[in-house]
């Protein structure tokens, strides 16, 4: 065992409890805030809820695994443990990534001017997509139970060297590390473009300052999600692709680098909480409401009160203008 690999394992003894606490706490807060009455009325929120749930499940599996590895305890030893660990620990990040793609697509549909496309952004559609996506992804990842095998000679859980295995693993790498970021980026740009077009058409009816603020929040949220996700995921993807293509490259040094990148990738599963706070004023308001134990107000009452205030303000403005004009006319004739 190399000195670098041993140092990485020992570092996980101190890092994993911290990451476990951060991921569990932030994802539970996300589930609580996103599940509130104000936010769950949006179909996109259901994808973020599913994303937080998958992050929680993955954290409960990967953090104890890496923590025990620091004491040289590996539950993947053996035929059964190798297959279970390989299938579950690859399936759950795949599902979490899928939820981000579906959320990006939902935003694009909700901002589209086409009624046919806009009709796809519903809560019922979101729930159907989450369930069907989970089932199809589980079927797609099921070959991992056959591909990975425990090697008794070197005591490692490695994929079998076969042409079909290489093709399947390449499809995983292509979908997760190339297609998924490209699709999220494409739908993000399309959503921003749709909102800008709608804002230009609605210029006489809405405040330009409020519109720019909304566009900026959406643009920041989309760009931050994509950039941060790529920053945390791609380093491990490169190492995983290299090991998958040629299992002989899985030396102790490469294992040390792979474990370090796994720890780095785990940051992606709690950073969404901070992205929501920095980029979404609606999330911040709802979080503050929950922390201060305030009851949600009736939206219809809020709208009615706001309408009355606007009407009163406009009436006062008209009255003041009319009085000024009358006074000016009287002065002229006097």
**What's the angle, vertex CA 302, arms to CA 299 and CA 303, rounded to 5?**
85
pLDDT: is 328 or 129 the higher one?
129
DSSP 3-state of 262: helix
Query: What does the pLDDT read at residue 332?
Result: 36
The pLDDT of residue 315: 38
pLDDT cut 70: percent of the chain above it: 78
User: Once rounded to an integer, what is the mean pLDDT over residues 126-143?
Assistant: 94
Q: What percent of the chain has pLDDT over 90?
A: 21
Please work out, in degrees rounded to the nearest 5, the angle formed at the alpha carbon of residue 8 by the alpha carbons of 4 and 54: 145
For residues 58 and 23, what is the distance between their CA atoms, to the nearest angstrom? Answer: 10
Task: Kindly indicate the confidence band of residue 25, based on its pLDDT and cuts at 50, 70 and 90.
Answer: very high
Report the Cα–Cα distance between both ends of the chain, in Å, rounded. Answer: 103
Give pLDDT, residue 296. 61
Tokens of 245: 């293509």
Q: What is the pLDDT of residues 47-62, one digit of tens each?
A: 989 999 999 999 999 9
What local confidence, expressed as pLDDT, does residue 215 receive? 44
Write the CA distances from 30 to 24, 45, 269, 276, 284, integer angstroms. Answer: 10, 10, 11, 9, 11
CA distances in angstroms from 79 to 48, 85, 145, listed in the order given: 35, 10, 10
pLDDT at 67: 92
pLDDT over threshold 60, residue 273: yes
Alpha helices in 35-121 (DSSP H): 43-69, 79-111, 115-118
C-alpha span between 196 and 300 (Å, rounded)? 28
Helix (H) or strand (E) holding 157: strand 156-159
- Spatial separation of the C-alpha atoms in residues 167 and 186, rounded to whole Å: 26
For residue 16, the model assigns a pLDDT of: 94
pLDDT in tens, 79-92: 788 888 888 888 99
* pLDDT of the residue at 220: 61
Most confident of 23-27, 213-217, 229-233, 246-250: 23-27
* Residue-level pLDDT at 124: 93
The predicted structure's pLDDT at residue 222: 59
Contact (Cβ atoms closer than 8 angstroms) between residue 19 and residue 263 = yes
Handedness of CA 243, 249, 250, 252 (dihedral sign): negative
Average pLDDT over the chain reads 78
Q: How high is the pLDDT of residue 166?
A: 81
pLDDT tens, 155-204? 777 778 788 888 888 898 889 888 988 898 888 788 878 877 765 555 45
Does pLDDT of 304 surpass 70?
no
Cα atoms in the Cβ-side hemisphere of radius 13 Å centred on 37: 7
Burial class (CB in 10 A: 0-12, 13-18, 19+), 209: exposed
């Amino acid at each position: 065992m190399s000195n670098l690999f041993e140092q990485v394992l020992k570092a996980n003894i101190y890092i994993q409890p911290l990451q476990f606490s951060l991921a569990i706490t932030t994802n539970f807060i996300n589930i609580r805030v996103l599940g509130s009455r104000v936010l769950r009325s949006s179909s996109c929120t259901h994808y973020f809820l599913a994303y937080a749930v998958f992050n929680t499940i993955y954290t409960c599996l990967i953090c104890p695994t890496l923590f025990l590895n620091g004491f040289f305890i590996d539950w993947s030893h053996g035929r059964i443990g190798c297959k279970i660990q390989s299938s579950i620990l690859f399936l759950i990040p795949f599902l979490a990534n899928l939820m981000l793609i579906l959320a990006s697509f939902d935003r694009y549909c909700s901002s589209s001017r086409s009624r046919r496309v806009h009709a796809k952004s519903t809560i019922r559609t979101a729930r159907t997509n989450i369930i069907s996506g989970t089932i199809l992804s589980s079927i797609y990842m099921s070959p991992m139970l056959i591909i990975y095998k425990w090697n008794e000679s070197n005591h490692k859980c490695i994929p079998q060297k076969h042409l079909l295995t290489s093709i399947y693993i390449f499809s995983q790498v292509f979908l997760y590390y190339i297609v998924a970021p490209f699709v999220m980026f494409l739908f993000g740009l399309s959503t921003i473009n749709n909102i800008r077009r709608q804002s230009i058409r609605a210029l006489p009816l809405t405040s330009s300052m409020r519109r720019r603020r909304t566009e900026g929040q959406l643009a920041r949220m989309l760009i931050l999600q994509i950039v941060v996700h790529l920053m945390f995921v791609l380093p491990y993807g490169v190492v995983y692709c290299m090991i998958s293509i040629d299992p002989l490259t899985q030396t102790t040094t490469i294992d040390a680098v792979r474990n370090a990148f796994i720890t780095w990738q785990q940051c992606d599963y709690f950073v969404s909480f901070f992205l929501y706070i920095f980029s979404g004023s609606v999330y911040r308001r709802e979080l503050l409401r929950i922390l201060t134990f305030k009851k949600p107000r009736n939206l219809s009452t809020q709208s009615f009160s706001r309408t009355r205030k606007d009407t009163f303000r406009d009436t006062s403005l008209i009255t003041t203008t009319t009085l000024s004009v009358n006074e000016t006319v009287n002065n002229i004739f006097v």
